[in-house]
Amino acid sequence: METAEIRRRFTAHFAAAGHTVVPSASLLLDDPNLLFVNAGMVPFKPYFLGQETPPYTRATSVQKCIRTPDIEEVGKTTRHGTFFEMCGNFSFGDYFKEGAIELAWDLVTKSQADGGFGLDESVLYPSVLDGDEEAVSLWKRITGLPDDRIVRLPAKENYWSMGVPGPGGPCSEILIDRGPAFGADRDWDAGDRYLEFWNLVFMQDELSAVRSKSDFDIAGQLPKKNIDTGMGLERVAYLLQGKNNMYETDVVFPVIEKAMELTGKKYGANPEDDVRFRVVADHIRSSLMLINDGVTPGNEGRGYVLRRLARRVIRNMRLLGYEDPALRELLPVSRDRMGQTYTELFDNYDRILNVANAEEDAFRKTLTSGTQIFDLAAADVKKTGATTFGGDKAFQLHDTYGFPIDLTLEMAAEAGLSVDEQGFRSLMAEQRERAKADARAKKGGHADLTVYRGILDSNGPTEWLAYTTLETESR
């Protein structure tokens, strides 16, 4: 089943059940804690927080999402992209656990002839928050599954909050067993074996404190209980297309095919190259969608994320043996696929291409000299018998040659070295302090957003800056 058809069926299913169809919001919503929209519920936050009254009680959307904390997973697991689309249904004080479970289970298991996804019940495992017996009995009654097919998971996996006082509640996921090739029997942490493809959040609690994913205080029940669900469009697509991972779907794989054509290498021939192909396909799509929504490369915040993604494409294409400008070759392939849904990509394409080309030209200028500096420095380190690449050198590469730290990390790993990241980050922080002091001197001392940049430097880029550490904990 094509991705477009999965999207259509999801939307039609919830529209038929009285949900207002809401188009995807931009990836860039104004939210001080959020670099990018990273879940379907984000545009609805004012409703969930009770700040605004929703014009409907039921809504459904397919929301563009960016999750940079997942960047290290890309291409290594079968299921993480930096860009993905989250299909969601939302209830604002309307149906609750029972309705949410019924609606999801129906779509997932209904035959394809009847408009569903037709997934085989015998490999599906609902998960609940350990202790949420209400959810257990609903799942058993609605699905007819025996008790031992309902997986009880701890709060770390199955309790949702925003990392701050406010709404919270247990989650319930639908996992699909992809078989022993992907992990051990009943090892729920083997995320590629028991693939989570749909997460239902039962927003019911008022939290007075949140110290970590599994340590929070429930002050009471919310006056109005809400439902927030997210189903990964790509995950369902690769399941229904019989593919191994989210980079091989009808929407993403054409970029891998183009990369094969450019590099002359074969996808599937060598595991290291395969990761590179998948990184290229994923990052091309996220770069395309970020530029489309108005991001331009830079050294701060959103621009830095885009820069990092685009430069990783270029770098991985080089590792695959392709040294010519790559973005202009790959972007149109992604545009043609994504443009079927986001038709504005065609109108915006000239602008997108200009931004991408300027970034690639700039990076290409520094890449050669930076690589030389890196090689010399790495050789020096090795001569002394040490195994750590200096934080000062990493800083110099970043500062003078625009090397994102992850590029230096990757190159160091290839050379069998580690990097003094702590040293690098403190030099970055010092530089940031100097820049801030300069800016204050110039502007007469008013606060600016560089405070977030400090968090970014010490933790790496993430969306929910407020709970960076929690996000990296999650699997």
Burial class (CB within 10 angstroms; exposed 0-12, middle 13-18, buried 19+) of 329: middle
CA distance 343 to 374: 42
Nearest distance from C-beta of residue 237 to ligand ATP, angstroms:
10
Among the residue ranges 45-53, 98-106, 139-147, 188-196, the one whose residues contact Mg ion (CB under 5 A): 188-196
Taking the least distance from each CB to ligand ATP, the nearer of 230 and 332 is 230
CA distance 103 to 83: 26
Among the residue ranges 22-30, 193-201, 293-301, 303-311, the one whose residues contact ligand ATP (CB under 6 A): 193-201
By the rule CB under 6 A, 396 interacts with ligand ATP: no
Say which residue the tokens 């919310």 belong to: 222
DSSP 173-192: EEEEE--GGGS-TT-TT-TT
Q: Of 126, 168, 191, 461, which one interacts with ligand ATP (CB under 6 A)?
A: 191
By the rule CB under 5 A, 199 interacts with Mg ion: yes
Taking the least distance from each CB to ligand ATP, the nearer of 286 and 292 is 286
Taking the least distance from each CB to ligand ATP, the nearer of 201 and 417 is 201
By the rule CB under 5 A, 38 interacts with Mg ion: no
Whether 73 contacts 213, CB under 8 Å: no
- The set of residues, in sequence order, having a beta carbon less than 8 Å from that of 78 and lying 6+ positions away, is 182, 192, 195, 238, 244, 245, 246
- Report which DSSP code applies to 258: H
By the rule CB under 6 A, 248 interacts with ligand ATP: no
Nearest distance from C-beta of residue 234 to ligand ATP, angstroms:
5
By the rule CB under 6 A, 84 interacts with ligand ATP: yes
- The set of residues, in sequence order, having a beta carbon less than 8 Å from that of 143 and lying 6+ positions away, is 105, 109, 121, 126
Taking the least distance from each CB to ligand ATP, the nearer of 368 and 474 is 474
Taking the least distance from each CB to ligand ATP, the nearer of 80 and 393 is 80
CA distance 398 to 311: 13
Q: Of 9, 19, 66, 81, which one interacts with ligand ATP (CB under 6 A)?
A: 81
CA distance 264 to 207: 55
Among the residue ranges 123-131, 196-204, 313-321, 452-460, the one whose residues contact ligand ATP (CB under 6 A): 196-204
- Report which DSSP code applies to 23: P
By the rule CB under 5 A, 60 interacts with Mg ion: no
By the rule CB under 5 A, 226 interacts with Mg ion: no
234 binds, among Mg ion, ligand ATP, none (CB under 5 to 8 A by kind): ligand ATP
By the rule CB under 5 A, 462 interacts with Mg ion: no
Nearest distance from C-beta of residue 475 to ligand ATP, angstroms:
5
By the rule CB under 6 A, 163 interacts with ligand ATP: no
88 binds, among ligand ATP, Mg ion, none (CB under 5 to 8 A by kind): none
CA distance 70 to 76: 11
Total of residues contacting Mg ion (CB under 5 A): 3
Taking the least distance from each CB to ligand ATP, the nearer of 193 and 235 is 235
Q: How many degrees, rounded to 5, is the angle at CA 438 between CA 433 and CA 440?
A: 95
Using DSSP bridges, classify how beta strands 20-21 and 388-389 pair: parallel, antiparallel or unpaired: unpaired
197 binds, among Mg ion, ligand ATP, none (CB under 5 to 8 A by kind): ligand ATP
CB 49: neighbour CB atoms within 10 A?
A: 11
Taking the least distance from each CB to ligand ATP, the nearer of 234 and 293 is 234
Whether 436 contacts 450, CB under 8 Å: yes
84 binds, among Mg ion, ligand ATP, none (CB under 5 to 8 A by kind): ligand ATP
Total of residues contacting ligand ATP (CB under 6 A): 21
Q: Of 196, 205, 273, 274, which one interacts with ligand ATP (CB under 6 A)?
A: 196
Whether 28 contacts 293, CB under 8 Å: yes
Residues 3-42 that bind ligand ATP (CB under 6 A): 39
Whether 394 contacts 408, CB under 8 Å: yes
3-state secondary structure at position 84 = strand
CA distance 69 to 38: 10
By the rule CB under 6 A, 230 interacts with ligand ATP: yes
Nearest distance from C-beta of residue 42 to ligand ATP, angstroms:
11
DSSP element (H, E) containing 217: strand 215-232
Burial class (CB within 10 angstroms; exposed 0-12, middle 13-18, buried 19+) of 62: buried
Task: By CB under 5 A, name the binding residues for Mg ion.
Answer: 196, 199, 474
Which residues of this chain interact with ligand ATP, rule CB under 6 A?
A: 39, 67, 70, 79-81, 84, 86, 191, 196-199, 230-232, 234-235, 246, 474-475
